[in-house]
Structure 1
Amino acid sequence: MPGTGTGRRGSALATAIGLRKKTEIDIVLDGEAELVHSYSTHDKIQGRVEVKFEKETCFDDFNITFEGQSSTYVERIATTAPTTGRTTGRQTFLKVQQPINEGFLPPDGVFRANVTYTIPFTFVVPYRLLPFVCTHRVKDEECRKEHLQLPPSLGDPSVSGEGRTLMDDMAPDMARIIYCVRARITRWNAVGRLLELADKSERVRLVPARDEAPPLIIEDTQLSHHVMRKEKSVKKGLFKIGKIGRLTAETSQPRSLRIPHPQKRSTEPISTMTTINLRFDPQTPQDEPPQLDSVGTKLKVYTFFGAAAYSQLPEAGKHDNWSTLHGVYAETVPLASRRVSTVSWLRHDPAEREMSFSSSDLSRRPSAYSTSSTASIPEPSCSYQAGMPFYTASVLTPIALPHASSTNRPRVFVPTFHSCIVSRVYSLDLDVSFRTPGANVASSHVTLKTPIQISAEGGAPPARMHEPDAAIVAEIEQQFRLYEEGQLQHHDLGIESPVYEETNSSHALAGTRHMSLVPEHAYTAARSDSAPALLLDVDTSAPPEYHVSSGFSTYSAMDRPGGPTTQNVSLRLSA
């Protein structure tokens, strides 16, 4: 029977001292008995559910699902205490249901006392989400395509790490993305109310595959957070009296930092390379360029979170600091400092015909010419005088993520991603320090800020699939095609505004792989529960579905996959 290998199960100590419930339900994951079970796109999540009741128990439904859920909150601060609280966002963007063979369950619907029932499960991590997960308004379809990619696990300290080591993924408490395998047993009572007999979830770490996206288009405005080109005057001597010229530094967005599959233990550093192109325009022909000293690199980590869905991809420079429904958390990771005193300057004389272009050519050439190539020459500075010589230099700068064992605070990096209510982006600071002629210390510096991506490798896609699986994939692709062509509207997907009232869940459907693929007559009952993003003005009293310890241990209409929802919650009630 599947799942007979080693795996993680419940604590034997808790059972021995009587802390465990009399109803025993365990989720055991196949593979090595590690502290953290990590998976990526196309990987199989296999294991078994073991159920044992102390006495004979009747049941109606037994569901095993693989779920993904994101949750956020934004503090709402006011001058009066009764209105102080927080606005929360929540989205169940993935729910895959495991078909259960009737042979693994008692045929009469009664679990025998002290008998262990073992039910195997197998889930395959999808490579993208279905269209109805993101139906809110967006300013461009690129944003929606990003929101339909699987986000990585984030902000969950119980699975944040690799293998047996827990690490810091640099996520704030206000943003969390959780994946879990969940087993739930229910029964209908005599008055038609659904009773929960057992509910257990096992969290896993998911790092989906992420390809490198095209470089960002950087707008040269004062509001732009990125600085791809910067000029600075070079002063004379130690006391900086007068100036000898102007230094220009340029760079371009480097290739992404690509992290390996989460189950691989790679000892190679995760690195990439960038180039800083420098140009010095002297004040007089006798002035010499400054002496380069070092290049320091820092990685800026930005986590965006919102209680309402984002209509465009968030950026650090364009973030609305006055928004009451969105926030950003930034953290800086020092990378390395490298001495570049051996880098020499190359003098260019405009009178030499070997030059490819004159000063006027430099000002007219297309901006695409300035790349990471060492042969590229920055455009003249604002103080360049026609006919004057100038100097150029190129500094190759390696960029490498810190190894977990090399720091006192081990960090784990997740791929760049954008979901409906949580995003993670990175930027790179390049600080070039230099010393002016006549000075013995590095007295000046110029800093560039460029975007950088972190991509990720995924699992191997299946070489072939069986006919039932192919039919499911064909139906999913049909939904994507109709949605992208505008033929499929929100009402066609059964999505309406959420209703905060107590509802009963429907019976599980045998053979269903995804909640969006159930028959029409069974999905009708769930139409009012799957919803796009909507702002609800809730009173100071908590809504019926709100619980202080809400999570995967509770079940409500909000657990159905769909767009994010927003609530206002008073801290006085959740205290």
Structure 2
Amino acid sequence: MSTPGHTISGEMPSFLTNVPAYTRSRSLALPASQRRGSAIANAIGLRKRSELDIVLDGDADFVHSYSTYDEIKGHAVIKFEKDTSFDDLNITFEGQTCTYVEKIATTAPTTGRTTGRHTFLKVQQPIAEGLLPENGLFEAGVTYTVPFTFVVPDRLLPFICSHKVDTEQIRREHLQLPPSLGDPSVSGDGHMLMDDLAPEMSKISYSIRARITKWNATGRLLEVADKLERIRIVPAREEAPPVEVDDMESDYIMRKEKSVKKGLFKIGKVGRLTAETTQPRSLRLPHPQNRQPEPVSTMATINLRFDPASLEDLPPQLDSIVSKLKVYTFFGAAPYKITPAARRHDNWSTLHGIYPESVSLSSRALSTVSWVRHGPAERESFSSSDLSRRPSGYSTTSTTSIPEPSCAYESGSPYYTARLPVPIALPTASGSSRPKVFVPTFHSCIVSRTYSLELNISFRTPGTNISSSHVTLKTPIQISSEGGIRPLQIQETEAAIAAEIEQQFGLYEANQLEEAGLGLESPVYEETEPDTFISGTRHMSLAQPVPSPARAPALHSGVDASAPPEYRAGAFNTYSSRDRLGGPRTQAVSLPAPTA
């Protein structure tokens, strides 16, 4: 029942007020007294009773969790203590990403941050006639109930990602639904609050929002009541093809050679050890509403080869293997044109950053692993090194993979091989003082999450009692996730919907905008002197920001500093400009230098 012809105008508010600062400890489990409001305060009237509330169907110990194709059902409850007039009630399912990147000036006496906001999802609930009073008046003491049902989509609309990208595959990645990330109030498995390993500089949140508004006599939109209920989304994510590894530019180490020295003082060599691995299958998360007692696990394989320096030299004694999971969160105040990676990261950019974490997985002894001696005539038809160099990659547990000879191998000499299967399992929350939760591997316009597996093998020269050296391999690994059941009607009408979307939103593609002469609106931000690469931190405290004038941005490798316009959707004309759908937008603030 909104009044037509009214629009919202004015300057875009500061994004900084919508990126709350929090410490890592808040993402861990909290006592019940800190999670719920005081019943005594409510009883004696110290806390105002909510006039608008959102009630979600189903039980949840901490937070309601959903996946792709799940139905989000509930109802909005409205009850005022006095007669209240209104013009419109909006119930929406919203998704938003907030980021910021610190800027540290090297010569100027100021510092600041560049912030980004991306409202990538906003679905409105149609309200049937008869659920709200026709005279536009909520009567005092009367309870009104408005049901709603939302379905978690499997992808976003095309105009949500209309910035420039290097390949269309990156755009398809950006149009997939990202998981909830960086919000300590919902980071958990639906039963316990946990740490999702995200920095405070990146936050992806979903919510059900109800808002009652009215127009005053001067045509200004007034907010009568507003309620927001946070939910957790873990979308379905299938395992992508293995990452193509470039030995020169990649941070991964799929093959490594190392000389094995003689004795305790490492004088002379007994041979050369080669270790190879391939990308293992993904760690697959269950549906967020399903709890499974077994840990999420997969299997990695390491193939070893030892080329002795002489016929009398024996292979080294294997001691232990330690596995770690490396977690990388990429965040930016402007869209990424490429798939971010640690080695390809632009260390001098003031528009994006990276936050690394490390999680210990397991450690086990290798004293029972035995070497197999091969004669000079033995040669397998293919090797694990061949597999690791193929662009498509392989996830293999073949027992016949033999690494290529090392650089010290002499043709016609014997060699030794060994195979190490390495079970990989994500840590569980039970018995841990700092429980962790993992989200699927994903890439969105301004936030990405990737994982890698680090395998450290220690060994010692035969005849010694202490480990003399070690070999470390690093391979990419993905985390995938299961979703809900795909409705039949979606499968039948998917092609028709896709054609309609292309017809309606094709104009928002960047190339068509340029051809039409419409151009793209650049994000507004300010940069100080170029700073060195800033690795993210989860403990950041800054003074009150002071807005500063903006100027034209400079472009940085891997970041697209152009963003699509702020699209005005008629169905959401009761919201501020910062909440409209569209591509990521940036804003910068500068902070004065602290005085002595």
**Cα distance 1:407–1:381, how it changes in 2: closer, same or farther (>3 A)?**
same
Q: Distance in 2 between matches of 1:362 and 1:565?
A: 45
8 Å Cα contact 2:164/2:510 also seen in 1: no
Larger displacement relative to structure 2 (202-211 or 361-370): 361-370
SS at match of 1:558: helix
Query: In the TM superposition, what is the alpha-carbon distance from 1:475 to its structure 2 partner?
Result: 3.4
Q: Distance in 2 between matches of 1:258 and 1:95?
A: 28
Map of 1:311 onto structure 2: 337
Query: In the TM superposition, what is the alpha-carbon distance from 1:57 to its structure 2 partner?
Result: 1.2
Map of 2:161 onto structure 1: 134
**Cα distance 1:485–1:243, how it changes in 2: closer, same or farther (>3 A)?**
farther
Q: Distance in 1 between matches of 2:388 and 2:425?
A: 31
Partner residue of 2:317 out of 269, 291, 294? 291
- Residues 49-96 of structure 1: CA deviation (Å, up to 9, x unaligned): 001112111111100000000000001112467631110010000000
Map of 1:541 onto structure 2: 547
Partner residue of 1:39 out of 66, 76, 83? 66
Q: Distance in 2 between matches of 1:72 and 1:459?
A: 29
Partner residue of 1:87 out of 105, 114, 119? 114
Q: Distance in 2 between matches of 1:36 and 1:175?
A: 20
TM-score w.r.t. the length of structure 1 is: 0.83
Unaligned runs of 5+ in 2: 1-34, 529-545, 551-573
8 Å Cα contact 1:248/1:278 also seen in 2: yes
Map of 1:507 onto structure 2: none
Q: Distance in 2 between matches of 1:286 and 1:483?
A: 72
The aligned runs of 1:15-414 (5 Å cut-off) are 15-21=42-48, 24-79=51-106, 83-221=110-248, 223-350=249-376, 352=377, 355-356=379-380, 367=389, 372-414=397-439
- Residues 520-560 of structure 1: CA deviation (Å, up to 9, x unaligned): xxxxxxxxxxx87734449963699xxxxxxxxx9521211
8 Å Cα contact 1:308/1:535 also seen in 2: no
8 Å Cα contact 2:163/2:510 also seen in 1: no
**Cα distance 1:35–1:424, how it changes in 2: closer, same or farther (>3 A)?**
same
**Cα distance 1:471–1:247, how it changes in 2: closer, same or farther (>3 A)?**
closer
- Residues 193-228 of structure 1: CA deviation (Å, up to 9, x unaligned): 10011111000000000000000110011x421000
8 Å Cα contact 2:384/2:401 also seen in 1: no
8 Å Cα contact 2:276/2:385 also seen in 1: no
Matched residue type, 1:276: I
Matched residue type, 1:59: F
RMSD of Structure 2 on Structure 1 (CA): 3.2
Map of 1:559 onto structure 2: 579
Q: Distance in 1 between matches of 2:50 and 2:381?
A: 81
**Cα distance 1:98–1:532, how it changes in 2: closer, same or farther (>3 A)?**
farther
Query: In the TM superposition, what is the alpha-carbon distance from 1:256 to its structure 2 partner?
Result: 0.1
Map of 2:25 onto structure 1: none
Q: Distance in 2 between matches of 1:316 and 1:437?
A: 38
**Cα distance 1:486–1:107, how it changes in 2: closer, same or farther (>3 A)?**
closer
Does residue 422 in structure 1 map to residue 442 in structure 2? no
**Cα distance 1:183–1:496, how it changes in 2: closer, same or farther (>3 A)?**
farther
Query: In the TM superposition, what is the alpha-carbon distance from 1:473 to its structure 2 partner?
Result: 7.7
8 Å Cα contact 1:9/1:26 also seen in 2: no
Q: Distance in 1 between matches of 2:215 and 2:389?
A: 69
Q: Distance in 1 between matches of 2:194 and 2:260?
A: 43
- Residues 344-389 of structure 1: CA deviation (Å, up to 9, x unaligned): 1111111x4x64569xx99999955995422101011111111111
**Cα distance 1:267–1:362, how it changes in 2: closer, same or farther (>3 A)?**
closer
Percent sequence identity over aligned pairs: 64
Matched residue type, 2:89: F
Does residue 453 in structure 1 map to residue 478 in structure 2? yes
Q: Distance in 2 between matches of 1:53 and 1:238?
A: 82
Matched residue type, 2:162: T
Matched residue type, 1:400: A
8 Å Cα contact 1:418/1:424 also seen in 2: yes
- Residues 433-458 of structure 1: CA deviation (Å, up to 9, x unaligned): 11111111222110000000000000
Matched residue type, 2:410: Q
Matched residue type, 1:446: V
SS at match of 1:323: coil
Q: Distance in 2 between matches of 1:457 and 1:62?
A: 34
8 Å Cα contact 2:103/2:527 also seen in 1: no
Query: In the TM superposition, what is the alpha-carbon distance from 1:268 to its structure 2 partner?
Result: 1.2
Map of 2:461 onto structure 1: 436
TM-score w.r.t. the length of structure 2 is: 0.80
Matched residue type, 1:448: L
**Cα distance 1:278–1:471, how it changes in 2: closer, same or farther (>3 A)?**
closer
Matched residue type, 1:560: R
Q: Distance in 2 between matches of 1:22 and 1:487?
A: 47
Query: In the TM superposition, what is the alpha-carbon distance from 1:395 to its structure 2 partner?
Result: 0.5
Query: In the TM superposition, what is the alpha-carbon distance from 1:35 to its structure 2 partner?
Result: 1.3
Matched residue type, 1:50: V
Q: Distance in 1 between matches of 2:141 and 2:44?
A: 18
Count of aligned positions? 516
Q: Distance in 2 between matches of 1:86 and 1:231?
A: 44
Query: In the TM superposition, what is the alpha-carbon distance from 1:247 to its structure 2 partner?
Result: 0.3
8 Å Cα contact 1:281/1:390 also seen in 2: yes
Q: Distance in 1 between matches of 2:65 and 2:467?
A: 46
Unaligned runs of 5+ in 1: 1-7, 498-530, 545-553
- Residues 138-187 of structure 1: CA deviation (Å, up to 9, x unaligned): 11111111100000000000001123310000000000000000000110
